[in-house]
Amino acid sequence: MNLPLLLFGAFVLLAAFNAGTMTTLQLQHYSLYPQVGRDAFIGYIRANNRAALVPAILPAMLLLGTSIGLMIRRPSFMTSGTAGLILVLNVVQLGSSIGWQRRLQAEMAETGFDARKTQLLVATNWIRTAAFLIQAALATRIVVTTLGSFS
C-alpha cells in the first residue's frame, strides 16, 4: 500500500469538501443569522453548534491530519514547499476558528443575536474560506500537473 498516495488522495478529497462547506457557510448560512429572529436565535445557534461536528469540524480536523501526514510522507510529485504551505494554511484556518468563529458563536449562543459580532464572524470567516479554497486550488494544480506529465 502506498501511504503517501493515500494521504494525498485523502487530502484532495478533504480539501475540496472543506472548501465547498466553508464557502456555503460563508455565503449562505451566516447571511441568514439576522433573519432567524432574536427570540429564536439562541436555540438556532445552539442547534447549529451541536450539528457542526460531522459536516464541518471533523472534516477540517481530518484535513489537518492529512496535511501533517503529508509533511512526514509526501508523494514524489509533491514538493516539500507545497506540503509546508498546506500545513500553514491549515494552521491559519484553525487559528481563525479558535480565535474568532468558535468564540463568537459560543458567545451568541449565550447572549443572543448581535449584529456587530455577526459582522465580525462573517469578516473573519473569510480567512478560513480563503485558506480552504487555496488548499483546494493547490490540490487541483498538483493533480492537473501530475496528470499532464503523462501526456
The CATH number covering residue 11 comes to 1.20.120
Contacts of 125 (CB under 8 A, 6+ apart): 22, 25, 26, 30, 96, 100, 101
Distance CA 41, CA 93 (A): 26
Q: And the C-alpha cell for 25?
A: 457557510
Would you call 151 exposed, middle or buried from its count of C-beta atoms within 10 A (0-12, 13-18, 19+)?
exposed
SS3 (DSSP) at 2: coil
pLDDT band, residue 1 (cuts 50/70/90): confident
pLDDT surpassing 90 at residue 20: yes
What's the pLDDT tens digit per position in 77-117?
A: 999 999 999 999 999 999 999 999 999 999 999 999 999 99
The number of domains in the chain is: 1
pTM over 0.75: yes
Instruction: Residue 56: give the domain boundaries.
Output: 3-148
pLDDT score recorded for residue 151: 81
What's the pLDDT tens digit per position in 62-85?
A: 999 999 999 999 999 999 999 999
pLDDT surpassing 90 at residue 6: yes
